[in-house]
Structure 1
Amino acid sequence: MKATFKGKYDTDKIGGAAATFAVGAGDVKLRASITDATVVGGPSLNGLALAVEKPGLFIVDYNVPKKDIRFQFMNTVRVAEKPLNLTYIHFRGDNRTILDGNLVIDPANKVSANYMLGTGNCKLKYTYVHNGVTTFEPSYDLVKNAWDFAVSRKVYGDDVCRATYQTSGKVLGLEWSRNSKVNGSFKISATCNLAEEVKTPKLTAESTWDFEL
């Protein structure tokens, strides 16, 4: 059985923790996840979620306290000999459906779209990877009629530095993350709303550890 423990600290909220337990059952994986709300103040169903997953094909998540189910199906088709990855996500509780797709033109170029059915909410994004190290990601939100920009760069092997800017809200973000199977994973991010008179950065830190039981 594999387990993942996640810790989070947010300057705007009290720090929290979450744990995920996964076990293989033939071609599928069974997962159970809890948060600090599940154990603080005595055992409860708060923050408990169960899932069944077949990697690359489907994920079914069940939120126990809300009695809500989320269905996610994935598939890949080829368009002009290029792989088009499609994802269908449906939230039964609020009857919300999301379609997500990305077309991989070549290892350095990718175009993706995210659309929420019935709302007209659609986002388009272009991803360009330069020399396998630096990634540029301009995106356009059709509802807000606004552009967002992101630039990230690999440093020291497992580390990534990323900067983002949301033009609609004038929000600047900086992030430093590491994804290492040996030393664990962490992410430290800071955001600042440049439109506010008093520009107070918001700091968030997350750490993740995987281990065998």
Structure 2
Amino acid sequence: MKASLKGRYANEKNTAGATLVVNAGDVKLRASMSDATFVDGPSLNGLTLAVEKPGFFIVDYDVPKKDFRFQFMNTVRVAEMPLKLTYSHSRGDNRTAVEGAFMFDSANTVSANYVLGTRNCKLKYSYVHGGDTTFEQCYDWGKMAWDFAISRRVYDDVFKATYQTSNSDLALEWSRNSKFNGTFKISAYMNLAEESKNPKIIAESSWDLEI
């Protein structure tokens, strides 16, 4: 049994959450709670239950909303190269999305995401240079705009910059994943089109525990 504690600290509001995972053979049983579950005494607010078989399916149940979300994954080989397929459906908002990611080799990946019945379609190309620097460019047909990202790994640290041309949003991120000190991420967001350009700072941290 594993437990994960998470905290999120932002300019406007601080939040916290916890996740409990139980291994049951090939599947995992997961219960996720937010601070809304405990702030006014124990309640069902912010509680999500899930059943997951890694690499095959995830079924989420939002308890207060009584809403199911299904996700199915599979990998097939095309010309000896892996094609990862994902199908997801949320019953509450009747939203269905399909996604595919085709890996030409360890450095080049092309992926596409499409929400059925909408113009929400994204095509992304990712290139890994030297095993530690990743360049990504994504075209969003719904917004008719490009998004760009670059990230670099330095030991346990990852530094990432993202720019969305549709709204001139720039994001800078620093994250670390450590087996001993947990994980954390510090992000700064700013809109380059605004005059003030005051950044929004968000810090997230999590700790994994064996029970």
TM over 0.5: yes
Question: 2: CA distance between counterparts of 1:7 and 1:100?
Answer: 30
The CA deviation string for residues 173-208 of structure 1, in whole angstroms up to 9 with x for no partner, is 100001122221000000100111221100000001
Structure 2 match to 1:68: 67
Say if 2:197 is the partner of 1:206: no
Say if 2:126 is the partner of 1:109: no
- Quote the offset at 1:120 in angstroms: 2.0
Question: 2: CA distance between counterparts of 1:141 and 1:98?
Answer: 15
Code of the residue aligned with 2:37 in structure 1: it is T
Structure 1 match to 2:188: 190
Question: 2: CA distance between counterparts of 1:39 and 1:16?
Answer: 12
Question: 2: CA distance between counterparts of 1:181 and 1:70?
Answer: 31
Structure 2 match to 1:171: 169
The CA deviation string for residues 72-116 of structure 1, in whole angstroms up to 9 with x for no partner, is 000001112210000101000111001111001100000011100
Question: 2: CA distance between counterparts of 1:198 and 1:95?
Answer: 39
Q: Which runs of 5+ in 1 are unaligned?
A: none
Structure 1 match to 2:159: 161
The CA deviation string for residues 144-192 of structure 1, in whole angstroms up to 9 with x for no partner, is 111110000011x110000011011001110000112222100000010
* 1:8-87 to 2 correspondences below 5 Å: 8-11=8-11, 13-87=12-86
Q: Which runs of 5+ in 2 are unaligned?
A: none
- Quote the offset at 1:27 in angstroms: 1.2
Deviation >6 Å, runs of 4+ = none
Question: 2: CA distance between counterparts of 1:118 and 1:14?
Answer: 35
- SS, match of residue 106 in structure 1: coil
Say if 2:136 is the partner of 1:137: yes
**Structure 2-normalised TM-score?**
0.98
Structure 2 match to 1:122: 121
- SS, match of residue 37 in structure 1: helix
Question: 2: CA distance between counterparts of 1:61 and 1:101?
Answer: 21
Question: 2: CA distance between counterparts of 1:26 and 1:199?
Answer: 51
Question: 1: CA distance between counterparts of 2:62 and 2:44?
Answer: 9
Q: CA RMSD in A?
A: 0.7
Code of the residue aligned with 1:55 in structure 2: it is P
Question: 2: CA distance between counterparts of 1:87 and 1:18?
Answer: 27
